[in-house]
Structure formats: structure tokens, C-alpha cells
Amino acid sequence: MKNPISLTARISLQFAATAACVLFAAGLVFERVGENQLQEHYRMELDGKMELVRNALESIPSSTPTSMMRVRLREAIVISHPGIAIAVAASDGTVLFSVGQSEVVKHLIEGAEIGKPTPVIWALDHRTYRIRARHLALGIPASQPANVAIALDITEETELMAEFMRLLWFSMALAALALGWLGWVAVRKGLAPLHDMSTTVANVSAQQLDKPLPAAGVPHELQELVSAFNRMLAQLHDSFRRLSEFSSDIAHELRTPINNMMMQTQVILSRERDTVDYRANLQSNLEELERMSRMVSDMLFLAKADNSLVAPNREEIDLREEVVKLFDFYEALASARHIHLAQSGAATVCADRMMIQRALSNVLSNAIRFTPEGMRIEVTIGENADRAMIAIDNPGPEIPAEHLPRIFERLYRVDAARREGDTENTGLGLAITKSIVEMHGGTIYAESAKGRTRFTITLPQRETV
Ligand SMILES: Nc1ncnc2c1ncn2[C@@H]1O[C@H](COP(=O)(O)OP(=O)(O)OP(=O)(O)O)[C@@H](O)[C@H]1O
Ligand SMILES: [Mg+2]
């Protein structure tokens, strides 16, 4: 995979690009405004001079002979500006008046585009001129208007402006680079807590899952990340703890029946016995082996369910029918202890029949085990907003509140003392029930109070997972 560009580089580059764009736009505005100001200044200067010439031309009395006109105009047009050249020519081409550098005047007379609305720029002998040309009426009635052309030397100003712009662009480029660098420094500093955090996270090992990341001093943008990470750590820690407890429990669970079998077999083998004793020993070993085999297949089922290797084979199931079947199955066991099994309500679900039977059977067998003799177990079925609900309620010893959340864990039994020596129950029943229910998109929870324990299972009526 391509190495993605770092966050620091990404933000700094974006910042530098934005700064460069802003500076470039500011430079353009400067250039345009400066240029406009300068052009306005030239325009006013040329207009002023043109006005002067117009006044002079208009003030020539009609009696003045052409030869005297030059003298009159020279008297009227006083030019103080050294960079200005003016040429006034009569309509027949006779030069009436000229002032300024002879070369420029010559060009003015020959080339000025008289009457052109916008001033023209001329380059002559490495110098730049701004030109204004007009037809101006003489004060003499019925005379042809004179051609007037004025050149303003703008070389210094143009060079100054070009120099200024060069300097401006150079400083803008420097400023963009400096801003880019400053941006990089700022981003690095700003992202330092993220860097610190990743170093801390990198050091988290399986032994430190119970140590949350310190939230103090973390900028508030990262607070959410830290708390999410800490939540994940807590969950990991919990799963890790359960996993290690589970493996030690498995070892323990298997050791007890194996020890039992070993001891009994050693005792039997310690001397010569008759066939009845051997038979009894084999029978007892068989029971232990059956229990171990059940436990191993239960654990295999849970492991497969964990890895999504068991898929429910869904079909339409009438829960009431399934409960009736279960009652038939447990009838003998219940009636031996004079326990009455009652059911009410009905609902259908789309689920795996075998799995649902197994799930309900685990809960019902627990209920029968804990119900005192002669009492009654109630199974209530109902449905509510696309979900079927089945509650199994039995009288009997309460499950203490601190154990309630844990009874669905693997190998967990409330009475820890019964873990040893109890060959009947492994503590996997509710874990399997929960796994099956969740596989179907359902929920299961237990309540235990006032001498009654109730397990409630909800299942979606249509396939959701
Ligand atoms: N109806 C109930 N009343 C009181 N306690 C119960 C009830 N159902 C379950 N428990 C408690 O929850 C524990 C876990 O039940 P679970 O079915 O998982 O295991 P188990 O019945 O001990 O073993 P297994 O079902 O594997 O034979 C039981 O050991 C018991 O302490
Ligand atoms: Mg059980």
C-alpha cells in the first residue's frame, strides 16, 4: 500500500497553499491599485497640460499672423516640468509650437494619434512616454483646429513601480515560505499530544489492560478518543480476564472427573476383584466420560458460535408447541418431585428449531432443578412489536444480585462450592442459551427476587441477523 502522507505534512501543506493563495491575491490587488493610481496621476497631469494648451490656443486673437502665433503660444504655455514635450501643429502641418526634447517632439509631430480617447504609451530611446493627443480649436473664427500632442516621460515612475512590484512579489514568496514553515512548526506542536498518545498506546501490552490512558491534560478534541480507547481497554481487559478464568476453569473441570476416574481405577486395580466390582467401576467411569464428552461438545458449540461457524437453520416455529414438547420431555422428572409445569400464551418466531429447543431446555432444566418439591413453574409466551417473548418463572432460592450478571458466563455457577465434586452440571447451560438467543438477534436476562427467579427471552419474529 502507498505510504499515506503524514497529518503534519498534510495540514502544513494545506496551510502553506492557503497562505500562498491569499498572499498572491493580495499582491494582485496591490499591483492593480498601484497601477490605477499611477495611471490616474498621469491622466490628470496630461489633462492639466492639455487644458493649458487649449486656453492658450483659444486666447490667440484673430488678428495674430501665423508667424506670431509661435511667440504668443510660448508666452502662454509655461512648462516647468522637465519631462514634458508638447507639439502643436496647424491643420496644414505647420508646427505652431513645440517644447521638450527634440527627438520626442519629432515623434510627437509624426506619430501622435490625435483624438484617441485612451492615452498611448510610447517607448523611445529606452524611455517610456505617455501620450495625449487632441484637435483643439484656435481662437480665430472659421480656422481649422490645431493638432496638439503631449508626451509625459514616465520612465522613472514605471521603473520604480516595476522595482516595487518585484520587491513585493519577492517578499510575498518569502512570506509564503515563512508561513509554511511556521505552519509546520505550529502543527507539529499542536499534534504533540496525539504523538504522545500514540506512544502511550504503543506501550500498552496484555498485562497493562487494566491501566487506562490518563485523560488529564489531553486537549478536549482528543478526550473522546481517549475515553473510547479506555472503554475499549476495559472491555478487552474484561474479555482477557474471562478468557484466562475460562481456561483455568476448563482445566479444573476436566481435572476433577479425570482424578475421580484415576482414583477409582487405582483402587479397583489395587487387588483382585470380582466382575461386579469391575463392572461398577466401568459404569462410574462411563458416567464421568459422558459428562466430559458433553462438556467438550458444549464448549465446541460455544467456540463455533463465537466464530460465527454455526448458522441458524431458520423456519417458522410455534413457541407454544415447542414448550409443550419440552414439558412432555421433562414430565417424568417434574412429576417425580411433584412439580407442576404450566404454560400460557402463544407466539411464532422464525428460528432454528433444534437450537431454540436447546436454549429453552437449558433454562427449564435449571428451573426444575431449583424449584422446591410440590411447587409450580410458569412459562409465559407473548408477543410485542415484532418480538416474541418467553418467560420461565420458578419459585426457589434467589440468585444474589451480584451473581445475576455473571450467570451467563461460561462455567459460572453461583455456588462456587458446588463446582468441585458436582458431576452433573458444568455451568455451560446458560452460556449456550445466551449464545443461541443472540445468534437469532434476541436478548435474555434474569431477575430474581421475593423467592422467585425469572428468565426472560425475547426473539425477533422475523429474521434480522
Ligand atoms: N432458576 C434458577 N434458580 C436459581 N439459580 C439458577 C437458576 N438457573 C440458573 N441458576 C444459577 O446459574 C448457574 C448457571 O446456570 P447454568 O445453566 O449455566 O449452569 P448449570 O445449570 O450449573 O450447568 P449446566 O446447565 O451446564 O448443566 C447455576 O449454576 C445456578 O447457580
Ligand atoms: Mg443449566
The residue from 273, 304, 335 where one domain ends is 304
Q: Which residue carries 431454540 as its cell?
A: 356
Please report, for the domain that includes residue 444, its CATH number.
3.30.565.10
Name the closest ligand to CA 431: 1
One domain for residues 357 and 399: yes
Residues contacting ligand 1 via CB (< 6 Å): 362, 366-367, 370, 394, 396-397, 399, 407, 412-415, 425-431, 453
Q: 268, 288, 304 — which closes off a domain? A: 304
pLDDT at 249: 79
Residues 405 and 443 in one domain: yes
CA proximity to 108, closest of 72, 71, 148: 148
Same domain, residue pair 324 and 392: yes
Domain shared by 399 and 417, yes or no: yes
| Residue 331 shares a structural domain with residue 415 | yes
User: Which ligand ends up closest to the CA of 452?
Assistant: 1
Grid coordinates standing for 303?
Answer: 467456540
What would the grid cell of residue 218 be? 489531553
Output the nine-digit C-alpha cell for 419.
463446582
Expressed in angstroms and rounded, the spacing between residue 427 Cα and the centre of ligand 2 is 6
Does residue 382 contact residue 345 with C-beta atoms inside 8 Å? yes
Nearest residue (CA) to ligand 1, atom 8: 366
Q: For residue 340, what pLDDT is reported?
A: 96
Ligand 1, atom 10: nearest CA belongs to which residue?
A: 366
pLDDT at residue number 2: 60
pLDDT tens track of the chain, all 465 residues?
A: 566 788 888 888 888 899 899 999 998 999 999 889 988 988 898 888 888 888 888 877 766 776 677 777 777 676 666 788 888 887 777 777 888 877 787 777 776 555 555 567 878 778 888 888 888 877 776 677 888 888 888 898 889 999 999 999 999 999 988 988 998 999 888 888 888 888 888 887 777 788 888 888 788 888 888 899 899 989 888 888 878 877 887 888 888 888 888 998 999 999 999 999 999 999 989 988 988 898 889 988 988 888 888 889 999 999 999 999 999 999 999 999 999 999 999 999 999 999 999 999 999 999 999 999 999 999 999 998 899 999 999 999 999 999 998 999 888 888 765 544 455 788 899 999 999 999 999 999 999 999 999 999 999 998 765
Dist. CA 377 → ligand 1 center (Å): 15
Please check whether residues 157 and 299 belong to one and the same domain.
no
| Sheet (strand 84-89) strand order | 95-99, 84-89, 146-153, 127-136, 120-124
Here the cell at position 31 is 499591483
The pLDDT, as a whole number, for residue 223 is: 86
Q: Cβ distance 363 to 455 under 8 Å? A: yes
* Shortest-distance atom of ligand 1 to CA 392: 1
Please indicate, yes or no, whether residues 101 and 250 belong to a single structural domain of this protein: no
Cross-strand partners of 344: 380
Q: For residue 428, which ligand has an atom nearest its CA?
A: 1
- Are residues 321 and 291 both part of a single domain? no
d(CA 372, CA 380): 20
Cell numbers 517610456 label which residue? Answer: 128
| CA–centroid distance, residue 366 to ligand 2 (Å) | 5
Give the count of domains, the chain.
Answer: 3
In a domain, 62, yes or no: yes
CA of 237 to the centre of ligand 1 (A): 25
Let me know if residue 196 belongs to a domain: no
The domain in which residue 110 lies consists of 7-165
Q: Can you give the CATH number for the domain in which 106 is found?
A: 3.30.450
- Give yes or no: residues 12 and 149 share one domain: yes
| Grid cell for residue 422 | 458436582
Report the distance separating Cα 146 and Cα 54, nearest Å: 10
In a domain, 340, yes or no: yes
Q: Within a domain: residue 227?
A: yes
Ligand with smallest separation from the Cα of 419: 1
Q: How far is the CA of 447 from the centre of ligand 2 (A)?
A: 16
Q: Which residue among 291, 377, 430, 456 is best mutated to probe the pocket of ligand 1, counting the most ligand atoms within 8 A of its Cβ?
A: 430
The Cα diameter of the chain in Å comes to 168
Locate the ligand 1 atom nearest the alpha carbon of residue 366 and give its number: 8
- The CATH number given to whatever domain includes residue 238 is 1.10.287
- CA pair distance 24, 32, nearest whole angstrom: 12
- Which one-letter DSSP state was computed for residue 80? -
Q: Is residue 465 part of a domain?
A: no
Instruction: Say how far residue 273 (Cα) sits from the centre of its chain.
Output: 76
Looking at 141, 165, 189, the residue that finishes a domain is 165
Cβ(392)–Cβ(363) below 8 Å = yes
The ligand with the least distance to the CA atom of 397 is: 1
Mutate to test the pocket of ligand 1, among 425, 447, 453 (most ligand atoms within 8 A of CB): 425
The answer to whether position 195 is within a domain reads no
Q: Which ligand is nearest to the CA of 414?
A: 1
Best probe residue, ligand 1, of 293, 393, 413, 452 (max atoms within 8 Å of C-beta): 413
CA of residue 382 to ligand 2 center, whole Å: 24
Question: C-alpha distances in angstroms, 16 versus 116, 171, 176?
Answer: 46, 15, 6
Q: Output the pLDDT for position 421.
A: 46
Distance 372 CA to ligand 1 centre (A): 15
Query: What confidence score (pLDDT) does residue 99 get?
Result: 80
The residue with cell 482477557 is 240
User: What confidence score (pLDDT) does residue 420 get?
Assistant: 45
**Rounded distance from Cα 436 to ligand 1 centre (Å):** 16
Ligand 1 nearest atom to the CA of residue 398, by list position: 4
Instruction: Count CB neighbours of 232 within 10 A.
Output: 11
Q: Which residues contact 305 (CB under 8 A, 6 or more apart)?
A: 435, 436, 439
Same domain, 283 and 354: no
pLDDT of residue 399: 94
Are 21 and 149 found together in one domain?
yes
| Ligand 1 geometric centre to CA of 78 (Å) | 120
Is 179 within the bounds of a domain? no
Tell me if 185 is assigned to some domain.
no
Ligand 1 mutation pick, 364, 366, 436, max ligand atoms within 8 A of CB: 366
For 426, counting Cβ atoms within 10 Å of its Cβ (0-12 exposed, 13-18 middle, 19+ buried), the class is: buried
| H-run or E-run covering 458 | strand 452-460
Examine the domain organization and report whether 407 and 321 are in the same domain. Answer: yes
- Burial degree of 367 (CB within 10 A; 0-12, 13-18, 19+): buried
Number of residues assigned to the chain: 465
Distance CA 233, CA 213 (A): 9
Ligand 1: which residue has its CA nearest to atom 22?
427
Q: Residue 448 Cα, ligand 2 centroid: separation in angstroms?
A: 16
